[in-house]
Amino acid sequence: MSEERSLNFIEEIVEEDIHAGKNGGAVLTRFPPEPNGYLHIGHAKSICLNFGLANKYNGKTNLRFDDTNPTKEDTEYVDSIKEDVKWLGFDWAEELYASDYFDQLYAFAVELIKKGLAYVDDSTAEEIAAQKGTPTEPGTPNQYRSRTVEENLQLFADMKAGKYPDGAKVLRAKLDLASPNMHLRDPLMYRIKHAHHHRTGDTWCIYPMYDFAHGQSDAIEHITHSVCTLEFVPHRPLYDWFIERLNLFPSKQYEFARLNMTYTVMSKRKLMQLVDEKHVEGWDDPRMSTISGLRRRGYTAASIREFCERIGVAKRENMIDVGLLEFCIREDLNKTAWRRMAVLDPIKLIITNYPQEKTEIMHGENNPEVEGGDGGRDIPFSRELWIEREDFMEEPPKKFFRLGVGLMVRLKNAYIVKCEDFKKDANGNVTEIYCTYIPESKSGEDTSGIHVKGTIHWVSVPHAKTAEVRLYDRLFQVEDPSNEDGDFKDYLNPNSLHIIPSAYIEPDLANAIPGKGYQFIRKGYFTLDKHSTADKLVFNRTVTLKDGWVKK
């Protein structure tokens, strides 16, 4: 099976490197999240890219937590990240932490001080910002820049020893205050934070900055291709500078465009706000773009991997239509989800010529897409049925292939019925529909010769069970909430969650398996929510079915 798909630009680079014999042909990538929040679909793109590269080119991928800022990080996030990566179907070679390298990084810093390439600065954050200049004006050196190596060594040791309060001093690289690249204007390497770290505890009160930790961590691990998103492009010269000055393994950084998706937000900061301010139930709320939210919603790992494959990898800004994600999950679930019947907005249908006490057991296959139907289940049928309110119209338009007086439909897996009459209450609402059935039209043994255009789903009234069903709509009302005027939360969709407290479901659904996808025929794909119990079933709608019927 030869894959015709063309290479993305990173794969091209990797192949060139392999052919050139670089690093002995080794490919070692890493996925480096900061454990300060839950992973989202954007991270999935990075995960699929990094692990995909390793899988494709016989390499390995490390999972490395970029835990250099103790005030924002927590083991809760470490645990969720590991769970999500595993669930997506990837195995990392090693589980590593930037904090594993704190001693080594400290030694690197000392080495740079000794080479005259780093100095301790006593300025405040504001002073440093002011002295950095602006993109059009060079920065200006301060008095601390010319401290002696000995003095810097002593002060840095004192910083480490806890002699100074937070913010009193920082260690900076002595680079180029006039550089057109702001990141090169004597970037900070270490800051003082008397904070408890989730792994190193209170061992340290100075912590390395991203720029002084990431590249060296890559180099220590001998990462060959360090893939990150576009906003790090201006950091690359710094990444290289530290590695060169310290004479480390020459890891190389490559950047791709991060994923943006319509009708959602894609930053941990914003997602955290939604959680903290209770706009959603939590990080795994099924409306969230988090991996855990998508999982709870009913998305499969395979569908997310397929999505990441389809969106491609390039360097231009992009905005992916959430419809593509929906296509991917439909494509997957269509092949695997068991078909069941559930009536979400019920109205009673009475078959007037069907015996009062009679019950028949109908048969329905689990999945018509699978050879043999993938097994099946029994469905009790009786005189009184629940059907969907929208499947009946008092005054049906021309191409309405459902019920209306005089119209015929097939009841899925059962008989063809003809609508004879209906009843309304005092408010004019339809309350009951009366039909007659064609006894010769039974599913599988139809000798009636009648062909109808429409088939509708149903649940037998006396046999019906109930479940809470949660229907989700997009979380935001606009395509790009982050790019609108004002706060992104102003654009939340107030109707993103619709709960049906008691929908009627066919009896077999009481045996629904957690984590499995079900297609409620004509209504969409559903899965059991994590809060579902035997006493109270709760289903989440993963996605609707594609609806080709447009009302006029």
Q: What is the dihedral of CA 274, 279, 284, 289, to 10 degrees?
A: -60
DSSP letter at 307?
A: H
* 285 SS3 class: coil
Q: Do 305 and 88 meet the contact criterion of CB atoms below 8 Å apart?
A: yes
Closer Cβ to RNA, 281 or 477, answer by number: 477
Tokens of 480: 């790009």
> Shortest distance, CB of residue 277 to RNA, whole angstroms?
19
> Shortest distance, CB of residue 204 to RNA, whole angstroms?
12
> Shortest distance, CB of residue 181 to RNA, whole angstroms?
5
> Shortest distance, CB of residue 443 to RNA, whole angstroms?
3
The gap from C-alpha 50 to its chain's centroid, in whole angstroms, comes to 16
> Shortest distance, CB of residue 30 to RNA, whole angstroms?
12
> Shortest distance, CB of residue 251 to RNA, whole angstroms?
16
Element (H, E) at 293: helix 291-297
Name which of 179, 176, 181, 177 is nearest 130 in CA terms: 177
What does the alpha-carbon distance between residue 257 and residue 269 come to, in Å, rounded to a whole number? 19
Helix axes 236-245, 102-114, angle to 10 degrees: 80
Backbone angles phi, psi at 463, to 5 degrees: -105, -5
Element (H, E) at 331: helix 322-336
Amino acid residing at 112: L
Closer Cβ to RNA, 403 or 464, answer by number: 403
> Shortest distance, CB of residue 273 to RNA, whole angstroms?
14
Closer Cβ to RNA, 259 or 274, answer by number: 259
Closer Cβ to RNA, 210 or 249, answer by number: 210
Closer Cβ to RNA, 321 or 490, answer by number: 321
Closer Cβ to RNA, 30 or 235, answer by number: 235
What does the alpha-carbon distance between residue 184 and residue 503 come to, in Å, rounded to a whole number? 61
Q: Do 176 and 184 meet the contact criterion of CB atoms below 8 Å apart?
A: yes
> Shortest distance, CB of residue 393 to RNA, whole angstroms?
9
One-character DSSP codes across 60-117: EEEEEE----TTT--HHHHHHHHHHHHHTT---S-EEEGGGGHHHHHHHHHHHHHTT-
Closer Cβ to RNA, 8 or 493, answer by number: 8
Angle in degrees, CA 249, 255, 260, rounded to 5: 145
Contacts of residue 105, Cβ cutoff 8 Å, sequence gap at least 6: 208, 212, 213, 216
Q: Do 306 and 312 meet the contact criterion of CB atoms below 8 Å apart?
A: no
By DSSP bridging, strand 342-343 and strand 95-97 are unpaired
What does the alpha-carbon distance between residue 91 and residue 69 come to, in Å, rounded to a whole number? 26
What does the alpha-carbon distance between residue 384 and residue 372 come to, in Å, rounded to a whole number? 30
Closer Cβ to RNA, 205 or 285, answer by number: 205
> Shortest distance, CB of residue 531 to RNA, whole angstroms?
26
Q: Is 34 a catalytic residue?
A: yes
By DSSP bridging, strand 28-31 and strand 60-65 are parallel
Which of 22, 56, 245, 258 is the catalytic position? 258
Q: Is 268 a catalytic residue?
A: yes
What does the alpha-carbon distance between residue 342 and residue 174 come to, in Å, rounded to a whole number? 68
DSSP letter at 444?
A: T
Q: Do 117 and 174 meet the contact criterion of CB atoms below 8 Å apart?
A: yes
CB atoms within 10 A of CB 497: 16
Closer Cβ to RNA, 430 or 497, answer by number: 430
Closer Cβ to RNA, 383 or 523, answer by number: 523
> Shortest distance, CB of residue 323 to RNA, whole angstroms?
5
What does the alpha-carbon distance between residue 344 and residue 458 come to, in Å, rounded to a whole number? 10
Element (H, E) at 411: strand 408-411
Which of 60, 268, 296, 410 is the catalytic position? 268
Which of 11, 15, 34, 83 is the catalytic position? 34
Closer Cβ to RNA, 268 or 285, answer by number: 268
Backbone angles phi, psi at 118, to 5 degrees: -150, 150
> Shortest distance, CB of residue 86 to RNA, whole angstroms?
21
Active site residues: 34, 258, 268
